[in-house]
Structure 1
Amino acid sequence: MRVLNITVTFGLGIAIGAWSASLMLKHQLDLSSVRNGPWRTLLTTGAADAGMYQRAGIAVGGLLALSKQETLYYTAFEDNSGNQLQENCTYRILGKDPDARWWSLTAYADDHYLPQNDDNALSIAKTTVERDDDGHFEIMVSAKPQPKNWISSRAAGEYSLTLRLYNPSSRVYEAPAAANLPNILRENCQ
């Protein structure tokens, strides 16, 4: 009986510790983030002065980050209305090229890895996106194939989108909350 009590107590201690660490990690990351519409960024990603919770969040998220002098990472877990991005919904991403030398937009499944599908459509970049005559683009994110500018969310569950800005302009660094980033609009859900 004593061994059972010790085992249960030990198991509860581990479970409570893991839960509280996860809660603290999420809380610290939310507090440290700079928000820009549905997008958020940690300015210390890839920086030597990142705190332990920020480094832990980057490690948990599986992000192999370049230094902040090279790249800013914006991540969206929600659309412009605040709804969690979900595999069974279709989203329209509208915008113009962000103020950076190069950019890419990639879908990540709820496990922080690329969705396990064979659609070969998990990312779009500055050099592959089709634009209209005014330089605007429209990217569709859905589980079903779209005719152009499509990112597949099939097998993603509740997912996120990461917008990487490589060598962003000084204006983006100085005011990341005011950077001109794409809107994420939910079209419909099944």
Structure 2
Amino acid sequence: MLRNVFLALIALVIAVGGGTLSAWYAVNRFDGFNALAIGQWTAHPDAGTPLSDPYAKARAAREGAFPLGSAEGLAFYAYNDDTGAALDRQCTYSLSGNSPNSRFWTLYAADRTLLPLDPGTGRLPALHSRQILRGENGAFVVSVSPKAQPENWLATSGSGRMTLVMTLYDTPVGSNSGLVDMTFPAITRISCDG
């Protein structure tokens, strides 16, 4: 009798603990289904549409997110540099290249919960496509660093991991038919103070 009660308790702990752990993982760490990955950049074109998976809906509800509709734009997230190392707020990175076709785009640094980082007093919290200095071929280089950098500089602060968020507005990327240029800036670590 006591053995049956003990086995039932073990099964209950495994079921409740496993269910809780899998739900936490799905809402906090799982990138979701139907992700669009280009290099280190990942987007979820179905977010904000009726086709969104239940995990993405739960994550948006928990974070209080208001995803853009499919006709409005698409947010891409980079958690790692081009070598696969996690992005660190105390390191300096170079974003070089170009962005996909879009009428307008923004770029900002966020923490792992996607809240924008405080860049500090007198620093811009984000960059956008109309303020970027470009080369003759249209490509750009953005320095992401806690220390002041010449030309295009996205300031970071604090310590720990970060996420880069590039939001494309009025873009055909989400409904890609293979006719859209799918290039994103490369993320290269230059130095690290942490």
Q: Normalising to structure 1: TM-score of the pair?
A: 0.81
1:141 paired residue among 128, 144, 150: 144
1:1-190, aligned counterparts within 5 Å? 18-25=20-27, 28-119=30-121, 120-155=123-158, 157-169=160-172, 173-175=176-178, 179-190=182-193
In 1, Cα distance between equivalents of 2:29 and 2:113:
19
1:19 is aligned with what amino acid? Answer: L
Gap runs ≥5 in structure 2: 1-13
Deviation, 1:49, is: 1.8
Does the CA-based 8 Å contact 2:32-2:56 persist in structure 1? Answer: no
Q: Report the equivalent of 1:7.
A: none
The residue type paired with residue 68 of structure 1 is: S
Structure 1 distance, partners of 2:17, 2:59, is 19
Counterpart-to-counterpart distance in 2, 1:62 and 1:147: 36
Stretch moving more, 14-23 or 87-96: 14-23
SS in 1 for 2:176: helix
The structure with more radius of gyration: 2
- Root mean square deviation of aligned Cα: 2.9
In 2, Cα distance between equivalents of 1:103 and 1:137: 13
Q: Deviations over 1:28-87 (max 9, x none)?
A: 525432211000111111112212101122334553211011101111000111110001
SS at match of 2:191: strand
Q: When the two structures are aligned, how many residues end up with a matched partner?
A: 181
Q: Which moved more, 1:27-36 or 1:123-132?
A: 27-36
1:100 match: secondary structure: coil
Amino acid at match of 2:144: V
In 2 relative to 1, CA 179–48 (structure 1 residues): closer, same or farther, beyond 3 Å?
Answer: same
Which one has a larger percent helix, Structure 1 or Structure 2? Answer: 1
CA distance in 1, matches of 2:20, 2:78: 25
Closer, same or farther in 2 for the Cα pair 1:62/1:143, shift >3 Å?
A: farther
Question: What code does the residue aligned with 1:39 have?
Answer: W
What is the rounded CA distance, in whole Å, between the counterparts of 1:19 and 1:176 in structure 2?
41
Contact 2:103 2:171 in 1 (8 A): yes
- Residue pair 1:87, 1:153 contacting (<8 A) in 2 also: yes
Q: Any gaps of 5 or more consecutive residues in structure 1?
A: 1-11
Shift of 1:155: 2.1
Whole-angstrom distance in 1 between the partners of 2:19 and 2:180:
34
